[in-house]
Amino acid sequence: MSNKSEFVEQILSYIKEHDSLHYKKIRKTVNELTVKNETEYKHFCYLLYQYFSDTHKTVESVSANYLQMVNDMRYEGIYFKKNKKYSCKNQNEAYLKVYSNKEVMSYYMNALLLSQILWAHHFKMLMYFNNQLVMEYLKKTNSVLDIGPGHGFFSNIVIKNFPAIEKLDIVDISLESLEMTKKIIGSGEGRINYLQKDIFEHETEEKYDLIIFGEVLEHLDEPVTVLKKLIKYLSPNGYLWLTTPTNAPAIDHIYLFRSKDEIVELLIKSGLKVTNDFGCYAEDVPEEVAVKFDISYLYGAFCQRQTD
């Protein structure tokens, strides 16, 4: 792995050589993120550099993984435009094709990890979450449940903001995801528990002040069922933080949201109310253009259970 100060530039150099069209987009993104969120951006770049170094990955290999995912998404996008639905039919198909396939999971997780610093909407969502944690309504957070952590970036932000947190439980069906998260954020001096479980089968008597559910809804057959279950795990004044995209074809996306309104309607149907939210499009275009061409919109919301 390259020197950490050169890491991102070498990634970009590889992408420029092998996919010049995509390079133009992310070059602009990296320039803007570096200026607007310099300290935070360097922190997450370092997490990536450290992880890839510790796992003996080269710039060439992780860059190739990333471009493989980009090409997969292009093909999925063609299917989506033609059929107005995702190609992956259900959770079982996603498990067989992706989550149980170590070769696919290896390249896909590496690629998604890079997307956290190369895609503006991913990084902006991290920054919104980070900025909200200093707000008064989240100050009493002592226990956290993170479901489907991906790479653990939201949990990493929690640990930084709440160094005295008592408990952080991390649940994922994928062993690869859990191992990656553990390498990135560690054990938290014994306060972090890693549990390889399907959320549908996970049962606990614990009550959590904050539940993190980042980009999971789109991977589920029946998201309402899971959300109703999670509500039971919230402490009386607890918050559920969730993110999910609209119109985002990918090899393992199942549940299609066509608009932000559809997401909010599903949350209300599940027994939740939105208290704070944020969203941004995957492309830097006017909203009317984004709507016309089904540009993906990443939505994030802090929710509480509805009261009578």
User: What fold is seen in the domain 121-305?
Assistant: Rossmann fold (3.40.50)
| Residues 203, 191: Cα–Cα separation, whole Å | 19
Q: What is the CA radius of gyration of the chain?
A: 19
Alpha carbon distances (Å) from 267 to 86, 239, 272: 21, 13, 5
- What pLDDT digit, counting tens, does each position of 183-239 carry? 988 877 778 999 998 888 888 889 999 999 999 999 999 999 999 999 999 999 999
Residue 186: per-residue pLDDT: 86
Report, as an integer, the average pLDDT of 52-77. Answer: 96
Q: For 265-281, what is each residue's pLDDT tens digit? A: 999 999 999 999 999 99
* Tokens (6 digits) for 132: 């909200």
Beta bridge partners of 194: 170
Which pLDDT score, from 0 to 100, does residue 1 have? 62
Taking the C-alpha atoms of residue 294 and residue 184, their distance in angstroms, rounded to an integer, is 34
Return the residue matching tokens 């996008």. Answer: 77
pLDDT given at position 4: 66
Model-level pTM? 0.94
CA distances from residue 48 to 61, 114, 135, 207 in whole angstroms, order as listed: 14, 7, 28, 32
Q: Categorize the per-residue pLDDT at 84 as very low, low, confident or very high, splitting at 50, 70 and 90.
A: very high
User: Where along the chain do its domains lie?
Assistant: 7-118, 121-305
Question: Is residue 112 scored above 90 in pLDDT?
Answer: yes
Q: What angle do CA 205, 265, 249 make, to 5 degrees?
A: 90
* pLDDT at position 204: 85
Task: Report the distance separating Cα 54 and Cα 180, nearest Å.
Answer: 11
| Single-letter amino acid, residue 245 | P
| Predicted local confidence at residue 200, as pLDDT | 81
Distance separating alpha carbons of residues 278 and 243, to the nearest angstrom: 9
Higher pLDDT, 56 or 134: 56
- Between CA 271 and CA 249 the distance in angstroms is 27
What pLDDT is stored for residue 46 in this prediction?
92
Q: Where are the alpha helices (DSSP H) in the chain?
A: 7-18, 20-36, 38-54, 59-83, 91-94, 102-118, 120-132, 153-161, 175-185, 223-231, 260-270, 287-292
In this structure, is the dihedral angle defined by the CA atoms of residues 92, 97, 98 and 103, taken in order, positive or negative?
A: positive
